[in-house]
Amino acid sequence: METLFDNEMIVKNDASTLTETKDNDVSVIILLNKNFNFSVSRTPYDIPLYGKKMWEWVALACPNTNIKTTVCTEESEILTLIKPYLGNQKWTIVLYSDTPLISGATLQDILSYARAKDVNVLNLPKGYVFNTEYIKNTESLISTNITNFGSKYDFFEVNSNETLYEAKHILKNRILDYHIQNGVNIEDKQSTFIDAEVVIENGAKIEHNTTLIGQTYIGKNCTIEPNSIIKDSVISDKCVVKCSYIEQSRISENMIVGPFEKIINKSN
């Protein structure tokens, strides 16, 4: 079961491995922005977005990289905040938890630019790239021109219920498009909801009003019929699920489930 989820959404976030370059000389600090203007009941950076917390989407854009996190507010002084977390890598990328749409491809472009220009400080629309040794020894951060990279969504700031709604819509479609590109027949994107860690094999058909949650696996040539909810379960190849609820269960190959079944903690 563990091997089913090794990809953990990396491709869905269009991520490239930042550490493919020599010496693995990149570290990332994610600033967990409290953002007191955000009118939600929980800490904004922990808001769940399709099975991942908001800050975890930022982390997924830089896989296989040394990542550290620290809480910040709008009043935090950037150098004071990050200096205790600086490592020995040549480059330190500082990102914010409220930019969950940032992609790994954009971060790779940013890092390539920093290397080519051999910058000490690269000021991003929201965040920074630092030469680590330089930033360890400087006492003040001189403002530089902001350099734009990627699309308008890479540094899209989620700081209100309205922007949260927009970000959720974009992430939802990224996940659905990823599965469609990998040979999954999704009948109706508008009424289909799939979490980040869900794995669906090619040839599967997902019909309308379907919700796939958590660490769920859908095998080859399965059909998930309308109004089904599947959570943290394995649906083996060539199964049909008809308008049923399945949670923490494993369904064997060629099974027909439903209609109107509720299966929890079972192996069929």
Q: State pLDDT tens for residues 57-116.
A: 999 998 878 899 999 887 888 999 999 999 999 999 999 999 999 999 999 999 999 999
Q: What is the mean pLDDT of residues 162-166?
A: 92
The pLDDT assigned to 40 comes to: 60
- pLDDT value for 57: 96
Residue pair 267/250 in contact (Cβ under 8 Å)? The answer is: yes
Q: Find the range with the poorest average confidence among 28-37, 69-78, 138-147, 238-247.
A: 138-147
pLDDT band at 145 (very low <50, low <70, confident <90, very high): confident
Count of beta carbons in the 10 Å neighbourhood of residue 138: 15
The arithmetic mean of pLDDT across residues 211-227, rounded, is 97
What pLDDT was estimated at residue 144?
A: 67
Would you state the structure tokens that stand for residue 140, as one six-digit string? 């003040």
Q: From CA 1, how far away is CA 79, in angstroms rounded?
A: 43
Three-state secondary structure call for residue 44: helix
Residue 161 pLDDT: 85
For each of the domains in the chain, give its residue range(s) and CATH number, in order of start: 2-160 (3.90.550.10), 182-264 (2.160.10.10)
Q: Is the pLDDT of residue 6 over 60?
A: no
Residue 1 has pLDDT above 90, yes or no: no
| Cβ within 8 Å of residue 86, ≥6 positions away | 27, 92, 132, 135, 136
